[in-house]
Amino acid sequence: MVATCFLTGVPRPCERRDCALRWYDEANCLKEDLINMNKEEARKIFKEKRKELSAAERAKADDLMLIQFQKVDLPQINHLLSYWPIEENHEPNTHLFNGYVEFKSPAIRFLYPKSDFVKQEMEAIGVDADTAFQKNAWNIHEPMDGTVTDAGAIDMVFVPLLIFDKQGYRIGYGRGYYDKYLQQCRADCLKVGFCYFEPVDKIDGTHEFDVPLDFCITPNNVYVF
């Protein structure tokens, strides 16, 4: 169990600055091959590419993504469904982005997902600075208690991903919980991704139940779909 504030999360490494974003060229070289690659192959490649990033590279990229995120003209956000980044998976620092959204919308209510492994679905739990989190079977921090918020009340969702394409479709971890949940959200709910890599041209194997992003943030760009 951890009770660390969800806006700051675990302490960041001290080594932060003056690191080159060397992975861009390497990832971009994969784009042509990925056009005809299935989801499982792409998932495996970008999971490994992300694990290769050092703490300093990720911290620099997180800072750059925050700068890009600040360029987005956000509406008033009353309810944000965020997620706790899995450190060992080298996920982007969503705590950083939470803080910016709270600055823009001080009355915001933060929500975090909690999974039901039997029903294979998730729900959004309201949290505050005193909420304690614990890791579930997939090593994801979830709130230990809190009130469930209806999907229809959510204004914005931070959606986990490994890579995305130029149509806004993403590759996640393959469990389908988010796509199922996003179908319950309002049409105007903003679906936002954060990715260390630029998009591939097209992800093969998408189906009618896949829900595209509204925009995705990378260290260099904001992609609007």
Residue pLDDT, tens place only, 179-193: 999 999 999 999 999
Dist. CA 65–CA 195, nearest whole Å:
8
* Domain extents in the chain: 23-224
- The CATH class of the 23-224 domain is alpha beta
Q: Which of 103, 14, 58, 80 is nearest to 197 (CA)?
A: 58
Question: What is the chain's mean pLDDT, rounded?
Answer: 87
Q: Residue 191: which H helix or E strand, with range?
A: strand 190-194
State pTM to two decimals: 0.85
Q: Please name the residues in contact with 64: beta carbons below 8 A apart, sequence gap of 6 or more.
A: 21, 219, 220
Kindly report the number of other CB atoms within 10 A of residue 50's CB atom.
20
Residue 130 DSSP one-character state = T
Q: Which of 169, 200, 167 is nearest to 32 (CA)?
A: 200
Task: Output the CA torsion 154→43→25→93 (10° steps).
Answer: 40
Quote the percentage of the chain above a pLDDT of 70: 84
Q: Does the pLDDT of residue 205 top 60, yes or no?
A: yes
Q: C-alpha angle with apex 159: 100 to 180, nearest 5 degrees?
A: 145
Residue pLDDT, tens place only, 105-151: 999 999 999 999 888 899 999 999 999 999 998 889 999 999 999 99
Burial zone of 17 (CB within 10 Å; 0-12 exposed, 13-18 middle, 19+ buried): exposed
Residue pLDDT, tens place only, 11-21: 333 333 344 45
Dist. CA 219–CA 195, nearest whole Å:
8
More confident residue, 2 or 22: 22
Assign 28 a pLDDT band (cuts: 50, 70, 90). Answer: low
| C-beta of residue 176 within 8 angstroms of C-beta of residue 211 | no
Q: Residue 98: which H helix or E strand, with range?
A: helix 94-104
